[in-house]
Amino acid sequence: MQATLEIAERISTISVSSTMKVAADADRLRREGVDVVDFGAGEPDFPTPQNIKQAAIDALAANFTKYTPAGGTQELREAICARHKADFGTNYSVPECLVTVGGKHAIFNLMEALINPGDEVVIPVPYWVTYKDVVNYAGGISVFVDTDEKSGFEVTAALLEKHLTAKTKLVIVNSPSNPSGAVVPESEFLKIFELTSKRGIYLLTDECYCHFLYDGSPFSIAAAPNAKETVLVAGSLSKTYAMTGWRIGFALAPAPIITAMMKLQSHSTSNPTSFAQKGAVEAMKGPQSSIPTMLAEYRRRRDFVIDRLRQIEGVSILTPKGAFYAYPNISVAYQSGKVKNSLDFAGQLLSNSHVAVVPGEAFGTSDHIRISYATSIHELERGLDRLHKFIDGVRA
């Protein structure tokens, strides 16, 4: 007898990641021989630094190719705690640290370990695509908090407070933000921490882009006094060390939460790849000079992109304070009726002008597109020329 194809209901609580969809559509066009300029990919175009690659090569040569403990090697967990301490002045120990298969996996495991059905999770808008899906998957309820574009998509304690209820379990803050590049200043982050901790609400800080800050020094709210009780850190080596394909991330959290996450991990992925962990140890312990080098280049590209976007009539753009994304408001393109929304905008821009961007709908706003400037100035120039012409065309 043939089995009926019936996908489990919980899968219907999540949707295909829009950023991945854009990548797939752009890829399809490229395979057809179309010259696509890709502003969709949220990943550094730099290679992984040589010393990190060499450490993994050496690990392979030394047959470091077996299982490791599910939560990562002691060596890497120690190195992550030491790096976080050196960078931000925190004080985590190995039982409070878990190595995961990328930062996304840390966030997924955290949600699975913490959220009960009906728990509310507060998510500022615009948000990184994955948050709401992993909250849904865990049976939680996403409570979206609109930030104001005019005040730079700022996430503030006052704004968040209005959305806290007796059911709030967790608040997520991603600073610098993907997609807007907005940064929560340290003083405001402290207010957010005070607000959440006094109510016994967890504060998840997604530090994926924490080293890519254009003004001021990087900081972690986990370094605040008593923060370790309620602050949960999701970290990633993907962007900081141009290691997206290595799939190494981490969580720093109270030991019982780490233990719960590790239990889940031991029955799902088991350990992150053994030799990738050796590369990660080198990333944590070796020279950190690749970070300022990449940041300087991102700054140059940011300034170029912002300048070019400001030359397009009707388009408004805030200067990103961190990460490597521009999030222009392109709603001027809707006025003639030729374009309906940002999904339509991104679709037409890809099929007519062969530029891949991610529509704002993916991040919870409908008037924007996300442009990743983690690509060369040459590509940025080509793509922005096309974008400019496209907008002039649909506005007319």
Residues near ligand PLP (CB under 6 A) are 42, 102-104, 128, 174, 178, 206, 208, 236, 238, 244, 249
C-beta of 208 vs 222, nearer to ligand PLP: 208
Contact partners, residue 393, CB within 8 Å, separation at least 6: none
C-beta of 48 vs 236, nearer to ligand PLP: 236
Smallest gap from residue 102 Cβ to ligand PLP (A)? 3
> How far, in Å, CA of 282 to CA of 280, rounded?
5
Stated as kind and residue range, the H or E segment containing 359 is strand 358-359
Contact partners, residue 86, CB within 8 Å, separation at least 6: none
Smallest gap from residue 236 Cβ to ligand PLP (A)? 3
Smallest gap from residue 133 Cβ to ligand PLP (A)? 13
Whole-number Cα distances in Å, 80 to 65, 70, 73, 157, 297: 21, 16, 11, 29, 26
Smallest gap from residue 115 Cβ to ligand PLP (A)? 17
C-beta of 291 vs 312, nearer to ligand PLP: 291
The number of residues making up the chain comes to 396
Q: Which amino acid is at 378?
A: H
Contact partners, residue 229, CB within 8 Å, separation at least 6: 197, 254
C-beta of 23 vs 195, nearer to ligand PLP: 23
> How far, in Å, CA of 353 to CA of 367, rounded?
19
C-beta of 42 vs 359, nearer to ligand PLP: 42
> How far, in Å, CA of 35 to CA of 285, rounded?
40
Contact partners, residue 302, CB within 8 Å, separation at least 6: 214, 319, 320, 324, 326, 373
Smallest gap from residue 210 Cβ to ligand PLP (A)? 10
**Bridge-partner residues for 250, per DSSP?**
99, 235
> How far, in Å, CA of 44 to CA of 297, rounded?
11
Smallest gap from residue 42 Cβ to ligand PLP (A)? 4
Smallest gap from residue 334 Cβ to ligand PLP (A)? 27
C-beta of 73 vs 236, nearer to ligand PLP: 236
C-beta of 131 vs 390, nearer to ligand PLP: 131
C-beta of 244 vs 342, nearer to ligand PLP: 244
Smallest gap from residue 25 Cβ to ligand PLP (A)? 18
Kindly report each contact of residues 52-58 with a partner whose C-beta sits within 8 Å and lies 24 or more positions away, as own/partner.
Answer: 52/241, 52/243, 52/279, 52/280, 52/282, 52/283, 52/286, 53/279, 54/282, 55/278, 55/279, 55/281, 55/282, 55/286, 56/246, 56/275, 56/276, 56/278, 56/279, 56/282, 58/278
Residue 8 has, within 13 A of its CA and on its CB side, a CA count of 4
**Alpha carbon of residue 110 to chain centroid:** 15
Smallest gap from residue 1 Cβ to ligand PLP (A)? 41
C-beta of 242 vs 391, nearer to ligand PLP: 242
* Cβ-based burial of 166 (10 A; exposed 0-12, middle 13-18, buried ≥19): exposed
C-beta of 124 vs 140, nearer to ligand PLP: 124
Smallest gap from residue 105 Cβ to ligand PLP (A)? 6
**Bridge-partner residues for 372, per DSSP?**
325
